[in-house]
Amino acid sequence: MSDNLQIGRDGRLRHLLTMEGLPRTLLLQILDQAERYAADRRAEGAHGDKKHPVLHGKTVVNLFFEASTRTRTTFELAAKRLAADVVNLQVSASSTSKGETLLDTLKTLEAMQVDMFVIRHEASGAAHFFAQHAAPGVAILNAGDGRHAHPTQALLDMFTIRRHKPDFSKLSVAIVGDALHSRVARSDIHALRTLGARDVRLVAPRPLVPTGIEHLGVKVFNELEAGLDGVDVVILLRLQTERMLGAFLPSTGEFHRDFGLTRERLAKLKPDVLVMHPGPINRGVEIEGDVAYGERSVILEQVAHGVAVRMAVMAMILGGEAA
């Protein structure tokens, strides 16, 4: 899938579709900009309402064809903190259920002077399709396309890791679970490798390992204990039963027995290991509830960082925010 649509001739970010092919310097610019927004927010306190009006007068449409809690809400908050006008379009209420094609939907909304679309769709490639057909000056942000990519999730994951463990070259990171159906896994792998992580592992039962994933620079483990040995970060993935067409696993109980992160297993890992999950979690499947909200977990930090990271991406694309 072509990714050079994302960067303009001037080297600036134009759309955000995938982590693939994004240069390290650009990733660092986004993370640094997000750091400035997060620091401002901290300085203001929990109920601060300061806006960074770089998107004043711009219109952002959240176009979600798939369910979302964290991503849609944090994109909305991010756009509002940048003073944009925001419209949330739910697929059930839209014309696509009446047979309108994706292209018709795009062109109809563009006619209303939209500046940016944040799109989530079950089809891998949907965001690329929009970017290919968008009018000049209209930006597309991929908020998750099928199994393909979820770039802002990867950015907020990198942001969260970097706050705790700044040197990616020293990190061992294990991504555990349903990588076959996970756009987060792919985007995280690209981002980690681009930022210099040398030891990136994928730990999963054989049926949930995507063919050829080793070519992205990951080591595959089919056994949890070996896969987690000595790691600094564990990123757990949700079992995506909604994308499973056949029987991939004997049962979720068996998956938990062999691959679930329990308190006992966590106790054997490094004392400063980070436990991450993009959410929504399946308690008692890939993670025990106590571990999800335990002291090694940064899962809620990930959610909070989603706002600053999404502000940074939007500001860099639409607001001309210098990085």
Q: Which chain residues interact with ligand ASP by CB under 6 A?
A: 144, 150, 183-184, 238, 240, 278-279
Nearest approach in angstroms of CB 107 to ligand ASP is 26
CB of 68 to ligand ASP, least distance (A): 6
- Of 194 and 302, the one with the shorter C-beta distance to ligand ASP is 302
| Residue 232 near residue 275, CB atoms below 8 Å | no
Q: Find the shortest distance in angstroms from Cβ 17 to ligand ASP.
A: 15
Nearer to ligand ASP, 260 or 278 (CB): 278
Of 59 and 68, the one with the shorter C-beta distance to ligand ASP is 68
Cβ-closest residue to ligand ASP?
238
Contact criterion met (CB below 8 Å) for 116 and 314: yes
Gap between the Cα atoms of 306 and 311, Å rounded: 8
Nearer CB in complex with ligand ASP: 276/312: 276
User: What is the nearest approach in angstroms of ligand ASP to the Cβ of residue 281?
Assistant: 9
> 138 or 156, CB closer to ligand ASP?
156
Instruction: Let me know if 197 is exposed, middle or buried by CB neighbors in 10 A (0-12, 13-18, 19+).
Output: buried
* Nearest-approach distance from CB 111 to ligand ASP, in angstroms: 29
Asked if 214 and 220 count as a contact pair (C-beta separation under 8 A), the reply is yes
Least distance (Å) from ligand ASP to the CB of residue 218? Answer: 18
Q: Closer to ligand ASP at the Cβ: 242 or 290?
A: 242
Q: Please, what is the minimum distance in Å from the beta carbon of residue 320 to ligand ASP?
A: 29
Is the Cβ of residue 70 or residue 219 nearer to ligand ASP in the bound state? 70
- Distance (Å, whole) CA 161 – CA 233: 8
Supply the minimum distance, in Å, between the C-beta of residue 226 and ligand ASP. Answer: 24
Rounded least distance, CB 82 to ligand ASP, Å: 23
Cβ–Cβ < 8 Å for 150, 191: no
Residue number, 144 or 227, with CB nearest to ligand ASP: 144
Q: HSE-up of 241 (CA within 13 Å, CB side)?
A: 10
Q: Which is nearer to ligand ASP, 138 or 299 (CB)?
A: 299
Q: First vs last Cα of the chain: how many Å apart?
A: 27
